[in-house]
Structures are given as C-alpha cells and as structure tokens.
C-alpha cells in the first residue's frame, strides 16, 4: 500500500521528524500483518495524510487548539488521515500531543478497524499519551489479522484491502481519536447517570458519591479499586448525601438533610460533627440539591429546586435578604441539580441526570465555545464509561483530547 504526506504541519516539527514518525506509525501495523507501506512523493496513493486547520473541505472542520486532534476515514471512504494543525504536535517527548500515538491509532481506522472495547488496545477510544515504542494489544492483532492475515499467507493487493475492510459495518465514514478509558470496576450506577454529589478535596482529588458507595476519580476515569463503601473509609459519613464542597481553608463539608459534616483530612471527620445545618449555615434550607464554592468570588452557593442561595461567611447575616434567587439566573443551567463542583482547574461544573454543564464564569452563562457543546454525557467524559452504556449522543464520535484532559481536567 502507498501513502503520501501532502501537507506538513506549520509547527516546530521538521519535515524529517514528521516523515520518520509517520513511517514508524505504519510499521506498528506492518509487524502484525506482513503488509508493506510505501511512501510516495507524487501521484495517486492509497492513504493521503494532511495537516489542516479549521474548515478543510470534508465537512468536518477542526476546532483549533484544545479540541479534536485528528480524524481518519475507513478504507471504503478513502482511508485518508487529517491532523489538526493547530495542535502542539511533538515527537520523542511526553510534552504536547504525541504525533506517533495519534497517527498509529488513526491509521488503524484507515486500515478498517473500529474502536476496541479492550482498554489496553491501541484502538481503544482514548488517547494514552506519549509512548516511545508502541506495541499492539492481542485484540488489535486479532482485529487487523482478521482483515489482512498474519503475513504467512499472500498479502492482499490494494483493491482487496478496500473490499475486506469494507466488510466492516462502520456507522460513520470518519472516526476521531478519543480519550476516555474504560472503568475497571463495577461503575454501573455512575454510567447510568446516578449521582448524589461530587467534590474536589484540598489535594485536588475528586470524589463521586452515590448511595452508600463512592468513587475516586483520575484525570481520565475512575481509579482502580473503586467503588468503595463510604462508611468504611469516611469516618461517620452517611450514604445518600445531598451536597458537598471544599472551602478555601481546605476543609471539606458534606450535607444531608438538616445536618452537615466537616473533614479536615480525607476520611477522618472532625470532632464535634455532625452539626445542625441551621447552626453553621444560617439561612440555608435543609435537603439542598447541590453546593459549591464559586471561584469568581470565593462565596458558597447552595442550590435547591429552582432556587439558589449565596452564603458569605464574612457577613452578618451570611445570606442576604435578596435570596433565594432563581437558578435561571445561571443561564443554561437546569433546576433540581444532582451536584455542582469547582474542579481543580478552577472551572465550574453542574451535573444533572447523567449530563454535565460547564459554566462560563466570565460571561455568566453556559460555556458555548466548546465543541462538542454542553451538556455532555457525564459517564463517558468523567467516568470512562463504555459509550454503549450511556445515552449515546454525537459526543462519542467527536470526543477530543485537549478539551478534556488539558482543558477540563488539568
């Protein structure tokens, strides 16, 4: 099979570095199949590779830095690969976005492979980051050899490649690099959209709570070994929580009914708690839906039903008489929230019914600049759930690396 790089990136990468890296990405698939890929400098080729910006003629424009990395077409649609030229492409370093990792994954699609359900597979729908030497998982090998054999039999010619790959039933002509890993434990409840509250503690670790269990999150999904039982790890903390937030002094507060619980250290409740909500949070109703500290003014906000309250510990009374106010003031945010969160990146997130909303704090409205837009599926983007286990939308097809890992989650 032949390929050609018809448009090189404008980045600091040299033509030689790009040529070498793309060649290395093709070799990942050669080893398992006996296929041979030849680079050509002119004429027609089986796979054309281009670095493009924004709209580039295929009805799927790139979105600039921090968005979709690349997309590839299945063989029956040409097999071409396009990379977003606005990304910080790098080689031989963990900094930036690995061209080798992205290219190796996308070329798998060019050869006819869909995404894999195996987390360790190169064709799993998430970006793994920098790896100096990429090797295929047995699942990748089984998939590619099902199309092209193991190299012991005669190799298919170019026409056979298109036909055999065309036997796959892709749902779209194009597929994009995705980044979310699969959960390693039973995260069924989270994947179904069930959530009581979420909180980011002073050590920048984020926890999700539902029923009598909780989950510790990584930057890309759920940490191995979770869920765990709340009562075993959080001294005196009940299940079925209402809300939680971490104050500017590093102390984390949990709320349930007319009580609140304070933790200065993860898992260890402070002496004298729980306390009555009316004693520590005068003016705030019982059974709130969500709570958060807003990064703009470091005030505490409580949400219940269609109303919200601002709590200012430095004022007497701490809740102004103009509250409660309608949640609709937070443009684009729904009523009866499940949770609200100031994440470790300082951004504000709201959660409801398995979806999440990222708030534009500067313009005081739902973030409308992201692509794809909000709301998004919480299970897929935060918890690493299998797309088939959540209410699948176009989010799964347009998942983007930087928007999630280095913008939302860093």
> Could you write out the three-class secondary structure of 304-336?
ECCEEEEECCCCCCCCCCCCCEEHHHCECCCCC
Confidence of residue 221 (pLDDT cuts 50, 70, 90): confident
The reply to whether 182 falls in a domain is no
SS3 string of the chain?
Answer: CEEEEEECCCCCCCHHHHHHHHHHHHHHHHHHHCCCCEECCCCCCCEEEEEECCCCCCCCCCCCCCCCCEEEECHHHCCCEEEECCCCEECCCCCCEEHHHHHHHHHHHHCCCCCCCCCCCCCCCCCCCCCCCCCCCHHHHHHHHHHHCCCCCCCCCHHHHHHHHHCCCCCCCEEECCCCCCCCCCCHHHHCCCCCEEEECCCCCEEEEECCEEEEECCCCECCCCCEEHHHHCCCCCCCCCEEEECCCCCEEEEECCEEEEEEECCEECCCCCEEHHHHCCCCCCCCCEEEEECCCCEEEEEECCEEEEECCCCCCCCCCCCCEEHHHCECCCCCCCEEEECCCCCEEEEECCEEEEEECCCCEECCCCCCCCCEEHHHHHCCCCHHHCCCCHHHCCCCHHHHHHHHCC
Q: Which of 331-340, 349-358, 366-375 has the lowest mean pLDDT?
A: 366-375
**Number of independent structural domains in the chain:** 2
Whether the pTM exceeds 0.95: the reply is no
Q: Which two tokens stand for residue 155?
A: 């190799």
Active site residues: 106
Percent with pLDDT over 70 in the chain: 84
The reply to whether 121 falls in a domain is yes
Count how many Cα atoms sit within 13 Å of the Cα of residue 13 in the half-sphere of its side chain: 28
Q: Tell me, what's the pLDDT at 389?
A: 43
Confidence of residue 290 (pLDDT cuts 50, 70, 90): very high
Residue 292 has pLDDT above 90, yes or no: yes
User: Are residues 229 and 272 located together in one domain of the fold?
Assistant: yes
Nearest to 71 by CA among 178, 181, 182: 178
Residue 210 has pLDDT above 90, yes or no: yes
Domain boundary among 150, 176, 202: 176
Q: Tell me, what's the pLDDT at 67?
A: 67
Residue 403 has pLDDT above 50, yes or no: no
User: Are residues 77 and 194 located together in one domain of the fold?
Assistant: no
Percent with pLDDT over 90 in the chain: 55
Nearest to 125 by CA among 230, 220, 32: 220
Phi, psi of 64 (to 5 degrees): 80, -175
User: Are residues 165 and 92 located together in one domain of the fold?
Assistant: yes
Confidence of residue 154 (pLDDT cuts 50, 70, 90): very low
Query: What integer is the mean pLDDT of 262-287?
Result: 95
The reply to whether 401 falls in a domain is yes
The answer to whether the beta carbons of residues 50 and 6 sit under 8 Å apart is yes
Nearest to 143 by CA among 175, 109, 100: 109
Residue 38 has pLDDT above 60, yes or no: yes
User: Are residues 112 and 230 located together in one domain of the fold?
Assistant: no
Query: What integer is the mean pLDDT of 342-369?
Result: 91
Query: What integer is the mean pLDDT of 244-264?
Result: 96
- Cβ count near 110 (within 10 Å): 28
Q: Which two tokens stand for residue 142?
A: 């089984």
CA 30, CA 68: separation in Å to the nearest integer?
A: 27
Q: Per residue in 102-139, pLDDT tens?
A: 999 999 999 988 888 787 889 887 777 788 889 999 99
User: Are residues 70 and 215 located together in one domain of the fold?
Assistant: no
User: Are residues 164 and 277 located together in one domain of the fold?
Assistant: no
The reply to whether 156 falls in a domain is yes
- The CATH number of whichever domain residue 12 belongs to comes to 3.40.390.10
Query: What integer is the mean pLDDT of 249-276?
Result: 95
Residue 53 has pLDDT above 50, yes or no: yes
Contacts of residue 120, Cβ cutoff 8 Å, sequence gap at least 6: 137, 139
Q: Which two tokens stand for residue 9?
A: 């990136």
Query: What integer is the mean pLDDT of 66-89?
Result: 85
Q: Per residue in 56-69, pLDDT tens?
A: 888 778 887 766 78
Q: Tell me, what's the pLDDT at 130?
A: 82
Query: What integer is the mean pLDDT of 36-51?
Result: 93
User: Are residues 123 and 264 located together in one domain of the fold?
Assistant: no
The reply to whether 183 falls in a domain is no
Nearest to 351 by CA among 216, 195, 241: 195
Q: Tell me, what's the pLDDT at 95?
A: 83
Domain boundary among 107, 142, 176: 176
Q: Tell me, what's the pLDDT at 405?
A: 29
Confidence of residue 178 (pLDDT cuts 50, 70, 90): very low
The reply to whether 181 falls in a domain is no
Residue 179 has pLDDT above 70, yes or no: no
Q: Tell me, what's the pLDDT at 63?
A: 82
User: Are residues 172 and 199 located together in one domain of the fold?
Assistant: no
The reply to whether 361 falls in a domain is yes
Q: Tell me, what's the pLDDT at 128?
A: 74
Domain assignment of residue 252, given as a range: 188-408
Domain boundary among 176, 200, 224: 176
> Whole-number mean pLDDT of the chain?
83
Higher pLDDT, 384 or 378: 378
The answer to whether the beta carbons of residues 30 and 134 sit under 8 Å apart is no
User: Are residues 391 and 355 located together in one domain of the fold?
Assistant: yes
Cα R_g (the chain), whole angstroms:
25
Q: Tell me, what's the pLDDT at 155?
A: 42
Higher pLDDT, 371 or 101: 101
The reply to whether 211 falls in a domain is yes
Q: Per residue in 389-399, pLDDT tens?
A: 443 322 222 33
User: Are residues 283 and 169 located together in one domain of the fold?
Assistant: no
Query: What integer is the mean pLDDT of 177-196?
Result: 65
User: Are residues 309 and 172 located together in one domain of the fold?
Assistant: no
User: Are residues 257 and 121 located together in one domain of the fold?
Assistant: no
- The CATH number of whichever domain residue 340 belongs to comes to 2.110.10.10
C-beta pairs of 294-303 under 8 Å, 24+ apart in sequence: 294/342, 294/348, 294/361, 295/342, 295/346, 295/347, 295/348, 295/361, 296/361, 298/248, 300/245, 300/247, 301/340, 302/243, 303/243, 303/327, 303/337, 303/340
């Amino acid at each position: 099979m032949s390929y050609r790089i018809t448009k090189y990136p404008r980045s600091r990468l040299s033509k030689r570095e790009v040529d070498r890296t793309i060649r290395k990405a093709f070799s990942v698939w050669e080893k398992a199949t006996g296929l041979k890929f030849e680079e050509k400098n002119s004429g027609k080729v089986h796979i054309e590779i281009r670095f493009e910006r924004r709209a580039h003629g295929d009805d799927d424009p790139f979105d600039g830095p921090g968005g979709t990395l690349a997309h590839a077409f299945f063989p029956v649609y040409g097999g071409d690969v396009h990379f977003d030229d606005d990304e910080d492409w790098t080689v031989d370093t963990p900094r930036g976005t690995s061209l080798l990792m992205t290219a190796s994954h996308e070329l798998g699609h060019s050869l006819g492979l869909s995404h894999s359900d195996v987390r360790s597979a190169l064709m799993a729908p998430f970006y793994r980051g920098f790896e100096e030497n990429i090797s295929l998982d047995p699942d990748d090998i089984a998939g590619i050899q099902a199309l092209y054999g193991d190299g012991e039999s005669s190799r298919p010619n170019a026409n056979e490649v298109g036909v055999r790959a065309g036997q796959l039933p892709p749902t779209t002509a194009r597929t994009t690099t995705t980044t979310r890993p699969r959960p390693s434990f039973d995260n069924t409840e989270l994947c179904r959209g069930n959530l009581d509250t979420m909180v980011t503690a002073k050590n920048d670790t984020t926890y999700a709570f539902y029923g009598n269990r909780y989950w510790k999150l990584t930057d890309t999904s759920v940490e191995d070994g979770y869920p765990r039982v709340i009562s075993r790890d959080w001294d005196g903390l009940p299940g079925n929580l209402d809300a939680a937030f971490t104050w500017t002094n590093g102390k984390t507060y949990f709320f349930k009914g007319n009580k609140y619980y304070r933790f200065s250290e993860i898992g260890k409740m402070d002496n004298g708690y729980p306390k009555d909500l009316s004693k520590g949070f005068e003016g705030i109703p019982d059974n709130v839906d969500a709570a958060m500290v807003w990064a703009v003014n470091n005030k505490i906000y409580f949400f219940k039903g269609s109303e919200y309250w601002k709590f200012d510990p430095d004022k007497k009374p701490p809740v102004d008489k103009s509250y409660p106010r309608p949640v609709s003031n937070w443009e684009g945010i729904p009523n009866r929230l499940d949770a609200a969160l100031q994440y470790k990146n300082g951004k504000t997130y709201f959660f409801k019914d398995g979806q999440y909303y990222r708030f534009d704090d500067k313009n005081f409205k739902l973030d409308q600049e992201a692509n794809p837009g909000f709301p998004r599926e919480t299970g897929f983007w935060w918890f690493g759930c299998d797309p088939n286990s959540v209410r699948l939308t176009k989010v799964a097809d347009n998942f983007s690396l930087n928007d999630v890992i280095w913008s939302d989650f860093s």
